[in-house]
Structure 1
Amino acid sequence: MFQERHPLVGRELSVARRTSVAIRALDNCSRFNLRIAPSDLAAAAAAWGSDLPAAIGEATATSSGRLAACIGPDEWFLIAPLADQDAIETAFADLYATTIHSLVDVGHREVGIAIEGPEAAAALQSCIAAEVALMPVGSARRTIIDRVQIILFREAEDRFRIEVWHSFADHVWHLLAGICREFELGL
């Protein structure tokens, strides 16, 4: 279940003078935290409907809009279109009969923010200690942005996705907006 109103609805910020960095709020979607033994990953992938990444830091995306990231030794963060939520919950409920796991709907607590443009990695690097530019495309990691835990996806060379708790979304948004302004001014 997700909150129909979150603090970033309709927000978008672009910087186009000296560099190109844009941030925008992403549409609501289904989000799940999956905990399962790595030895049972094939069963989870069958319930999910596509492959799940096996190594920490890997992410997979499908043409149908599903995104999965391995963020711990037995933990995955799953994103899907809202229309898929019931089917996903049903598939994993059926899996309980044969495989021990935990699937938790976290759609109500997370908000997505996109950071795009040729300077996106540099903009993020200014507030994340991890080497953002070294993240390969198709990877994800749990990290910290200004003392706030996020999950950071690198979807393309010039596009990142942040998943942040709803209660911290406004803070992260304003931090990114300030960074974009610095890039605009050439600071």
Structure 2
Amino acid sequence: MAFNTIVETLPAMGRFSLRCKRENTVAMSKALGFELPSTISELVRSGNVTALKLGPDEWMLTCPMDERAKIKEPLAAVYADAVHSLTEVSSREVSIRVSGPEAEELLSTSCPRNLRELTVGCGVRTVFDSVQVILTREEQNQFRLDVWRSFVPHVMGLLSVATKEFECGL
């Protein structure tokens, strides 16, 4: 059986770490034009903007690089009424997509999480080997790893070795 899983880095994207109190999420959702997810690991998409709830008061917002103002400007406009912390972290991380029929199995070589329990459209903070990552299941056989830039060579190296082992039938 051929190994048909693809590992690729994705183009740069706008990324923001958003922190706020629960009572401010209504105003922030209104400003963004979509409801922020309320359940940890829930991902909401509105056009080209996504919001992933990572913790009780934490979201990762992403968008194309040239659309970052769609996040920054509306949230800055409501700051006085809905105090929050919005930090742009676009240059901090790189996204790696793993897609294909063996994607889940390939990621399982270095991720201790039971990936079968991660449903499509959900994401979590986890580890890949010893590296903290945000792992999102985009489709049944497609995942995105958001990795701090300095750890990308390590993660890509592990994925490359695992891919070669699968190709050899190990």
Which bracket does the TM-score occupy, shorter chain normalised? Answer: over 0.9
Aligned to 2:13: 29
Deviations 1:115-164 (A, max 9, x none): 00011011111111110122011100000111100000001101000101
Any stretches of 5+ residues in structure 1 without a counterpart? 1-16
Aligned to 1:59: 43
Q: Percent identity?
A: 37
Equivalent residues in 2 for 1:130-169 (5 A)? 130-169=113-152
1:167 Cα deviation (Å)? Answer: 0.7
Match of 1:50 among 34, 49, 64: 34
- TM-score under structure 2 length normalisation: 0.95
Aligned to 2:81: 98
Q: Does 1:20 align with 2:1?
A: no
Whether the 8 Å CA contact 1:122–1:133 is kept in 2: the answer is: no
Any stretches of 5+ residues in structure 2 without a counterpart? none
Aligned to 1:10: none
1:66 Cα deviation (Å)? Answer: 1.7
1:69 Cα deviation (Å)? Answer: 0.7
1:48 Cα deviation (Å)? Answer: 2.5
Q: Report the secondary structure of 1:90's partner residue.
A: helix
1:182 and 1:49 map into 2 onto residues whose CA distance is 46
1:39 Cα deviation (Å)? Answer: 2.5
Alignment-mate amino acid for residue 50 of structure 1: F
User: Which 4+ runs in 1 deviate beyond 4 A?
Assistant: none
Alignment-mate amino acid for residue 126 of structure 2: T
Q: Report the secondary structure of 1:51's partner residue.
A: coil
1:57 and 1:162 map into 2 onto residues whose CA distance is 14
Alignment-mate amino acid for residue 23 of structure 1: V
Match of 2:24 among 27, 37, 40: 40
